[in-house]
Amino acid sequence: MGRPILRAIGLMSGTSLDGVDAAWLETDGEQVVRTGRALTLPYAPELRLRLRRLLDRAGANLPVQDPELLEATAALTQCHVAAVRALETRADIIGFHGQTILHQPQRRRTWQIGDAALLARACGLPVACDFRLADVAAGGEGAPLAPVYHRALAHDLARPLAVLNLGGVGNVTWLGEGDSLLAFDTGPGNAPLDDWVASRTGAAFDRDGRLAAAGRIDEAVLARLMADPYFARPAPKSLDRLDFAARLATSGLAQLGTEDGAATLVAFTAGSVSASLAHLPARPRRWLVTGGGRHNPAIMAALASRLGDVAPVEEVGWDGDALEAQCFALLAVRVLAGLPLTFPGTTGVAAPLAGGRIVDPA
Ligand SMILES: Nc1ncnc2c1ncn2[C@@H]1O[C@H](COP(=O)(O)OP(=O)(O)O)[C@@H](O)[C@H]1O
Ligand SMILES: [Mg+2]
């Protein structure tokens, strides 16, 4: 007998700190039966700033009762409640990733904030959460989690195939013949470019890659950035949003003009994706790009010049703005069913591992 098919809402707020993505999905936890409505609720600029401050403080013993942390958690959760309501759709379960403020798997720490009990009560639905904790506790990287969803979506596409997600951080899922799966964080996604543009212009990001397109790559700065030992490290591996902060600060980037800095950071993102080729069992015949980075033509052009066949996931009928949220809808159903969330090829955990927990509304 097959598993029950459930209607699930997935909620994802990535390291870009741009807002909450919500998406509806029907699934048995293995296959995607149907996708449905999806939306993004942007964070108010003030919430974005508060989260940013927490991120900066999280490394240095942020107490769990910190008032700023508690306030931001409540505001963040309300934003998720609003996203669920805005979907205006019925569901059986919610998958709630929460906002990562710290990710240090080598110290067996990963921290996603959000009040699952509050969300469950407000929505009257069970909430699956804490997707990464069991994996990190078992010595895994705790990331990426999307590969199992990428595999479900890509079941009938030609292999080897790469699915590249460019959020704040970049991560790749490599799909080989059969069920073989390899995934890891490639390096920076949009975050360093977002931070650069924010510091120089006050804008949240380089809209349509206009600044980068008007700039020239500084090869010396780029070389210093690409010298980071992360790129030579074999998979599995994962990143914190701030992992390149120190290197960026000493790279000479700060001496560049706004446009040249943007062009150099785009090359950094594309260069790190291209460095990931060394860790893949075979060169992908195609790269499907999801996440906000695919909206940046400068990034897409830089990827195409290094990798060949690069296309947004829309090319195969997926929704690149909803994909991560859909993933947490499917993962919620997997949590409920006790199915594994992580695998040796995705997080380096010793054996396929179930995870997450369910918080009931009562
Ligand atoms: N039109 C656009 N031009 C350039 N960059 C864009 C555009 N739209 C979105 N982005 C980038 O995508 C990011 C959001 O990507 P997203 O996939 O939501 O990341 P995360 O999963 O980390 O939240 C923004 O911060 C921005 O850098
Ligand atoms: Mg986002």
pLDDT tens-place string over residues 41-67: 999 999 999 999 999 999 888 999 999
Please indicate, yes or no, if residue 166 is contained in any of the structural domains: yes
Instruction: Report the pLDDT value the prediction gives residue 71, as an integer from 0 to 100.
Output: 97
Span 126-137, mean pLDDT?
98
Express each pLDDT in 204-219 by its tens digit: 999 999 999 999 999 9
Please indicate, yes or no, if residue 1 is contained in any of the structural domains: no
Looking at the fold, whether 264 and 124 belong to one and the same domain comes out as no
User: Measuring from atom 11 of ligand 1, which residue has the nearest CA?
Assistant: 292
Looking at the fold, whether 169 and 234 belong to one and the same domain comes out as yes
Domain range for 201 = 155-316
Instruction: Report the pLDDT value the prediction gives residue 2, as an integer from 0 to 100.
Output: 81
Q: Tell me the CA–centroid distance for residue 190 and ligand 1, in Å.
A: 7
CATH number (domain holding residue 194): 3.30.420.40
Q: State percent of the chain over pLDDT 90.
A: 94
Looking at the fold, whether 189 and 306 belong to one and the same domain comes out as yes
Express each pLDDT in 245-262 by its tens digit: 999 999 999 999 999 999
Looking at the fold, whether 122 and 168 belong to one and the same domain comes out as no
Which residues lie with the beta carbon below 6 Å from any ligand 1 atom?
14-16, 18, 167-168, 190, 194, 205-209, 291-293, 295-296, 324
Instruction: Report the pLDDT value the prediction gives residue 178, as an integer from 0 to 100.
Output: 83
Residue 283, pLDDT > 90, answer yes
Span 190-198, mean pLDDT?
96
How would residue 1 be classed by pLDDT, with cut points 50, 70 and 90? Answer: low
* The ligand 1 atom nearest the CA atom of 168: 22
Ligand nearest to the CA of 42: 2
Q: State percent of the chain over pLDDT 70.
A: 100
Looking at the fold, whether 237 and 169 belong to one and the same domain comes out as yes
Residue that is last in its domain, among 285, 301, 316: 316
How would residue 240 be classed by pLDDT, with cut points 50, 70 and 90? Answer: confident
Average of per-residue pLDDT values in the chain: 96
Looking at the fold, whether 261 and 160 belong to one and the same domain comes out as yes
Please indicate, yes or no, if residue 150 is contained in any of the structural domains: no
User: Measuring from atom 12 of ligand 1, which residue has the nearest CA?
Assistant: 292
Looking at the fold, whether 355 and 248 belong to one and the same domain comes out as no
Please indicate, yes or no, if residue 30 is contained in any of the structural domains: yes
Looking at the fold, whether 14 and 118 belong to one and the same domain comes out as yes
Q: Which of 33-42, 177-186, 189-198, 252-261 has the lowest mean pLDDT?
A: 177-186
Looking at the fold, whether 167 and 309 belong to one and the same domain comes out as yes
* The ligand 1 atom nearest the CA atom of 208: 3
Looking at the fold, whether 230 and 121 belong to one and the same domain comes out as no
User: Measuring from atom 14 of ligand 1, which residue has the nearest CA?
Assistant: 292
Looking at the fold, whether 12 and 126 belong to one and the same domain comes out as yes
AA letter at 355: G
Looking at the fold, whether 121 and 237 belong to one and the same domain comes out as no
Express each pLDDT in 287-309 by its tens digit: 999 999 999 999 999 999 999 99
User: Measuring from atom 7 of ligand 1, which residue has the nearest CA?
Assistant: 295
What is the total count of domains within the chain?
2
